[in-house]
């Protein structure tokens, strides 16, 4: 979308408005963890039951937890929620009642939701280990899909997803809603316009992992409303622990990638877009330091099953062919904030987070505005997630490419997966981005793939 040249003041006002929907009182970390900890209670009260509107597409919602409810506060403005699937029966029924149209289906089987009459688009808000399978099944069923980030659990899943989307011709938006915030387009535009000079380094600070470091957990029977086997799906069969399930699944490699992928899917995406937009990925990934709550074997697998197994502390260096380094870390002495992106160049640096945008290049906007079109003129929806959903629905109508397409997301998320592989093995790895293979390390290459349980294959 084109727009007239913008002054520094206009750009700042746009950026601040873009970030308003995610501001949370308290520390930077509180702001950073909005998706996981505050959105469940911050959403507006659900509206009364409603009739389906003939001018809105029908949506199936797969996964009815906290982030689905965050979307639910604005979804009825844009779609008819006609089906809701969640392996937790209570969650499915409550979501259908609160946000669905009259007669909306509530089911524990997402396949039944895909088969529901009137479903045009799908929202996937399940744990990461289910994303690839449910997305592929959805596009093969002829549906356009909005899938929450991170898109995949492994690099190999990303390849398969990209192929399935390409073959199906469906529209898929990944829920990296920072791409629908002007605040994050501005630093990318400044870097690409050469306002920092030659870029030297990016420091991506993801914040501390919010789990108890020494806690151990016990198995117990799953609650009667939860289909535990269905929740596990492609993941290995294990006995139920409540700490493996709702919300806390983020801290188990069986289901997610810890902070490296959970927040890395946001900030690594923006940083790599800024510093290496034309490269297929890093060439060298080096662990600097890492602390785990469990020991790992020499193949990169945890040796204890009664505690979280993603890292509590980590620093990884990724080197790109253009000479730029990216540091991905839980904390950095160079960044006083707990969460955000620092980009350093020969002529200065800048910092961006969901609450801040600062740097000499930012201060120079008044006399030297960015070229027209650098910052898109986003719809004035208050919540970034709603702007991102609106972009998805617009693309469904005109069949254009969404702001966070699967190919771009897969490329940048691969950097997060590679960082996790390096710290799981605690050694440097070399990445052939063209061949999409780790060079000369069979154990590292093996961690690109997760064999799903029988009956839950991707294809």
pLDDT tens-digit series, residues 323-348? 999 999 999 999 999 999 999 999 99
The pLDDT assigned to 44 comes to 55
Q: How far apart are alpha carbons 408 and 424 in whole angstroms?
A: 25
Full domain range(s) for residue 71: 8-178
Beta bridge partners of 432: 437
Quick check: is 189 in a domain?
yes
Q: Which of 132, 147, 178 is the last residue of a domain?
A: 178
Taking the C-alpha atoms of residue 339 and residue 32, their distance in angstroms, rounded to an integer, is: 6
Say if residue 388's pLDDT is above 90. yes
Q: Where a domain ends, among 153, 178, 203?
A: 178
CATH number, domain of 35, equals 3.40.50.720
Separation of alpha carbons 96 and 80, rounded Å:
11
The torsion angle over the Cα atoms of residues 69, 215, 225 and 139, rounded to 10 degrees, is: 50
| Same-domain pairing of 158 and 215 | no
* In a domain? residue 395: no
Domain end, chosen from 140, 161, 178, is at: 178
Query: How many helices (H) does the chain have, and how many strands (E)?
Result: 17, 15
Task: Tell whether 302 is covered by a domain.
Answer: yes
Residues 207 and 244 in one domain: yes
Q: Is residue 400 part of a domain?
A: no
Give the mean pLDDT of 294-304.
Answer: 97
Q: Are residues 149 and 186 in the same domain?
A: no
| Cα–Cα nearest to 102, from 61, 166, 48, 160 | 48
In a domain, 27, yes or no: yes
Residues 169 and 208 in one domain: no
pLDDT tens-digit profile of 151-174?
Answer: 999 999 999 999 999 999 999 999
Domain co-membership, 87 together with 162: yes
CA 230/CA 207 separation, integer angstroms: 32
Q: What's the rounded Cα separation, in Å, for the pair 388 and 36?
A: 18
Same domain, 162 and 205: no
Within a domain: residue 397?
Answer: no
Global confidence as pTM: 0.89
Question: How many domains, the chain?
Answer: 2
Query: Which two structure tokens, joined as six digits, stand for 159?
Result: 């390849």
The DSSP annotation for 68-109 comes to: HHHHHTTHHHH-EEEEEE-SBHHHHHHHHHHHSBTT-EEES-
Quick one: average pLDDT of 274-288?
96
Query: Same structural domain for residues 226 and 125?
Result: no
Please report the beta strands in 163-322, taking only residues with DSSP state E, as ranges in sequence order: 172-174, 199-205, 284-291, 313-319
**Backbone phi and psi for residue 124, each to the nearest 5 degrees, phi listed first:** -105, 115
Does 446 sit behind a cis peptide bond, omega within 30 degrees of 0 on the bond before it?
no
Residue 155's H or E segment, with its range, is helix 155-168
361 class by beta-carbon count within 10 Å (0-12 exposed, 13-18 middle, 19+ buried): buried
Q: Are residue 316 and residue 216 in the same domain, yes or no?
A: yes
Residue 158 included in any domain: yes
Residue 196 and residue 76 share a domain: no
* pLDDT (tens digit per residue) in 217-268: 999 999 999 999 999 999 999 999 999 999 999 999 999 999 999 999 999 9
Specify burial of residue 240 (Cβ count, 10 A radius: 0-12, 13-18, 19+). middle
**311 and 421 share one domain:** yes
Residue 384 belongs to some domain of the structure: no
Q: 268 CB contacts (<8 Å, ≥6 apart)?
A: 204, 326, 328, 412, 413, 415, 416
Pair (264, 234) in one structural domain: yes
Our measurement of the distance from residue 348's CA atom to the centroid of its chain's CA atoms, rounded to an integer in Å, reads 29
| 97 phi and psi angles, rounded to 5 deg | -70, -45
Give the model's pLDDT for residue 288.
Answer: 98
Residues 372 and 412 in one domain: yes
Report how far residue 232's alpha carbon sits from residue 454's, in angstroms, rounded to the nearest whole number: 12
SS3 317: strand
Give the CA radius of gyration of the chain: 21
As given in the structure block, the two tokens for residue 152 are: 């995949």
Given this model, what pLDDT does residue 48 score?
Answer: 62
The CATH number for 335's domain is 3.30.360.10
């Amino acid at each position: 979308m084109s727009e007239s040249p913008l002054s520094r003041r206009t750009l700042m006002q746009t950026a601040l408005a873009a970030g308003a929907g995610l501001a949370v009182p308290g520390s930077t970390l509180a702001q950073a963890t909005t998706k996981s900890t505050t959105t469940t209670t911050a959403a507006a009260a659900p509206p009364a039951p409603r009739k389906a509107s003939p001018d809105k597409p029908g949506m199936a919602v797969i996964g009815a937890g906290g982030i689905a409810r965050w979307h639910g506060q604005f979804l009825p403005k844009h779609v008819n929620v006609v089906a809701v699937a969640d392996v937790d029966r209570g969650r499915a029924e409550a979501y259908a009642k609160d946000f669905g149209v009259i007669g909306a289906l509530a089911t524990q089987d997402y396949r039944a939701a895909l088969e529901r009459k009137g479903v045009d688009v799908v929202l996937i808000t399940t744990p990461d280990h289910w994303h690839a399978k449910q997305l592929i099944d959805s596009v093969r069923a002829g549906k356009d899909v909005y899938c929450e980030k991170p898109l995949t659990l492994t690099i190999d899943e990303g390849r398969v997803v990209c192929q399935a989307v390409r073959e199906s011709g469906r529209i898929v938006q990944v829920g990296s809603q920072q791409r629908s915030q002007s605040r994050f387009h501005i630093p990318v535009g400044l870097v690409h316009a050469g306002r920092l000079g030659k870029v030297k380094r990016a420091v991506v600070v993801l914040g501390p992992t919010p789990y108890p470091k020494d806690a151990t957990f016990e198995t117990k029977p799953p609650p009667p409303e939860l289909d535990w086997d269905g929740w596990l799906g492609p993941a290995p069969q294990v006995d139920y622990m409540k700490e493996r399930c709702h919300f806390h699944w983020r801290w188990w490699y069986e289901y997610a990638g810890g902070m490296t992928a959970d927040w890395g899917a946001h900030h690594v995406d923006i940083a790599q877009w800024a510093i290496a937009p034309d490269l297929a990925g890093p060439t060298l990934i080096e662990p600097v330091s890492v602390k785990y709550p469990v020991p790992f074997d020499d193949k990169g697998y945890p040796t204890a099953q009664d505690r979280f197994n993603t890292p509590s502390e980590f620093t990884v260096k990724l080197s790109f062919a253009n000479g730029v380094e990216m540091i991905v870390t839980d904390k950095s002495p160079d960044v006083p904030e707990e969460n955000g992106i620092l980009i350093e160049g020969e002529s200065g640096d800048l910092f961006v987070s969901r609450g801040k945008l600062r740097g000499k290049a930012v201060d120079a906007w008044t006399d030297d505005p960015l070229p027209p079109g650098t910052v898109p003129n986003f719809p004035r929806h208050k919540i970034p997630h709603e702007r991102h959903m609106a972009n998805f629905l617009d693309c469904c109508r005109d069949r254009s490419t969404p702001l966070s397409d699967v190919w771009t997301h897969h490329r940048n998320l691969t950097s997060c997966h590679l960082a996790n592989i390096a710290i799981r093995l605690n050694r440097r790895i070399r990445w052939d981005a063209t061949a999409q293979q780790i060079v000369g390390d069979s154990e590292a290459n093996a961690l690109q793939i997760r064999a799903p349980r029988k009956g839950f294959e991707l294809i």
